[in-house]
Amino acid sequence: MVESPVARLKALPFEVRQYLLITGNYWAFTLTDGALRMLVVLHFHQLGYSPLEVAMLFLFYEAFGVVTNLVGGWLGARLGLNRTMNAGLALQVLALTMLMVPSAALTVPWVMAAQALSGIAKDLNKMSAKSAVKVLVPKDSVSARSALYRWVAILTGSKNALKGAGFFLGGVLLTLIGFRGAMVIMAVMLMVVLGLSLWRLRADLGRQKRKPKFTEVFSKSRAINVLSAARLCLFASRDVWFVVALPVFLYDQHGWSHWTVGGLLAIWVIGYGGVQTQAPRLTGLIKSGPRAVTAFWALALAGLPAMLAMLPLAEVGWLVAGLLVFGVLFAINSSWHSYLIVHYARADGVSMDVGFYYMANAMGRLLGTLLSGWVYQVHGLAACLWISSALVAASALMALALPREATA
């Protein structure tokens, strides 16, 4: 007799069922987050906003993400990761609701306030999901470290694939039903997910028995501090040309439509997520310790943006091909970093170490977003690519300060 899918699900270990619930929660949130980003970029550029003004709409989104990661890890340790994850979902619903107002009411301060809530929501959800993996991974596994890497890679890679789908969804929704209609559909979807999460997610997930002091959110681990600085540069290197400069360049200079721009970025992020799930195999090709592996893949990435900057950007085929290669190498770097932070984090207090690390990640996105709008407006896409290359090189140099360990 063939078991039903529900019966097979119930037969899974409790930890695996919780992991699947967290992953599904993270997927749904990420789909709306990617769609919202594309909707804001394209809709407000269409309304006549300059690239720098569009970038400024994301200022609070990224800035509040910095604060949220710092405070969110502490809250997760005190209250439980289920509560911080559900709070993220609720805040995203509120942010989408704020953007349902008529177009005349979508002033810059109002949109920035909604984006601030969305930034808080995104990083609460992300920190909770990444921290929960450390709590749930089987401790008695013969190869616990390998299992941890695989679980992190699957969570991170699948999330980014959904974010790419969100980019495409945002472009399609803007074309078919407009900005306001898109907000309504996404808010309803997240409300359903929030209800399921409140019902099924374990109440004490990741909560410490000892209530940590707020000062403990600042990491005292050299490995985590170095890795956080490298992560800041890595993500600034991506967003300096990917967030505002590239979509506006394709829309203005090559006449691409909204859904075409959204489709390209969707394919990029979906492929990026797919590569991330295979990162354990790819990084395993370098038989060395974490320091050497981290520096090697960063250096492999550093030369690509510089090469693209020297090519004729009027030939959009070169740019698209380079973008795809950048996505492969960036995905390997990102997935390896995501594993290392969970590996280095304390078992008791993982959310605070992960929160501190993703605070640096948010600072990198903030820096990259602001540079993307300003540098593109003043100097063009090639300058954004040169800055991207320099930031990746800095990340590689920082990786050399990581502690020596046995072969990864």
Cα separation, 181 vs 177, in Å, equals 6
Other Cβ atoms closer than 10 A to 7: 9
Residues 135-169: b if buried by 16+ CB within 10 A, e if exposed: bbbeeeeeeeeeebbbbbbbbbbbbbbbbbbbbbb
The stretch 44-54 carries a mean pLDDT of 77
**What amino acid is encoded at 225 in this protein?**
N
Residue 7 lies in a domain: no
Q: State the DSSP code for 289.
A: -
Torsion sign over Cα 227, 233, 236, 238: negative
Torsion sign over Cα 199, 205, 207, 208: positive
The stretch 300-322 carries a mean pLDDT of 84
User: For position 1, what pLDDT does the model report?
Assistant: 47
The stretch 7-15 carries a mean pLDDT of 62
- Tokens at residue 259, please? 């859904």
User: For position 139, what pLDDT does the model report?
Assistant: 56
Higher per-residue pLDDT: 204 or 62? 62
- Residue 365's nearest CA partner among 114, 55, 113 is 55
Residue 406 lies in a domain: no
The CATH number assigned to the domain holding 170 equals 1.20.1250.20
- Phi/psi zone of residue 255: left (φ > 0), alpha (ψ -120 to 50 degrees), beta? left
Q: Per-residue pLDDT tens for 226-274?
A: 888 899 999 899 888 877 788 888 877 777 776 687 778 778 877 877 7
pLDDT at 105 over 60: yes
| Domain, as residue range, for 243 | 12-205+214-399
Alpha carbon distances (Å) from 159 to 148, 181, 311: 17, 24, 32
DSSP alpha helix (H) spans, 47-177: 51-57, 59-79, 81-98, 108-136, 144-176
The stretch 170-189 carries a mean pLDDT of 87
Higher per-residue pLDDT: 139 or 42? 42
User: For position 408, what pLDDT does the model report?
Assistant: 44
Other Cβ atoms closer than 10 A to 71: 19
Residue 344 lies in a domain: yes
* Beta carbons within 8 Å of 26's beta carbon, 6+ residues apart: 125, 126, 129, 155, 159
- Tokens at residue 366, please? 């903030």
The stretch 123-141 carries a mean pLDDT of 66
Q: CA-CA-CA-CA torsion for 110, 111, 113, 116, nearest 10 degrees?
A: 180
Cα separation, 158 vs 26, in Å, equals 9
Residue 385 lies in a domain: yes
Residue 408 lies in a domain: no
Residue 357 lies in a domain: yes
Q: State the DSSP code for 256.
A: -
Structurally, the chain folds into a number of domains equal to 1
**pLDDT level of residue 211 (50, 70, 90 thresholds):** low
Q: CA-CA-CA-CA torsion for 396, 400, 404, 408, nearest 10 degrees?
A: 10
pLDDT at 321 over 90: no
The stretch 213-221 carries a mean pLDDT of 59
Higher per-residue pLDDT: 87 or 313? 87
User: For position 142, what pLDDT does the model report?
Assistant: 45
* Beta carbons within 8 Å of 402's beta carbon, 6+ residues apart: 223, 226, 227, 290, 291, 294
Residue 5 lies in a domain: no
Phi, psi for 343 (deg, rounded to 5): -65, -45
* Beta carbons within 8 Å of 344's beta carbon, 6+ residues apart: 221, 223, 224, 227, 353
Listed range (19-23, 147-151, 164-168, 187-191) with the worst mean pLDDT: 147-151
The stretch 131-156 carries a mean pLDDT of 63
pLDDT at 177 over 90: no
Residue 404 lies in a domain: no
Q: Per-residue pLDDT tens for 13-39?
A: 566 677 777 777 778 888 888 888 888
- Tokens at residue 363, please? 């600072």
Cα separation, 114 vs 106, in Å, equals 10
User: For position 407, what pLDDT does the model report?
Assistant: 43
**What amino acid is encoded at 215 in this protein?**
T
Cα separation, 52 vs 378, in Å, equals 9
**pLDDT level of residue 3 (50, 70, 90 thresholds):** low
User: For position 61, what pLDDT does the model report?
Assistant: 78
Higher per-residue pLDDT: 9 or 229? 229
Q: Per-residue pLDDT tens for 346-395?
A: 666 566 777 778 788 888 988 898 888 888 888 888 899 999 999 999 99
User: For position 143, what pLDDT does the model report?
Assistant: 56
Say whether 265 sits in a helix, a strand or coil. helix
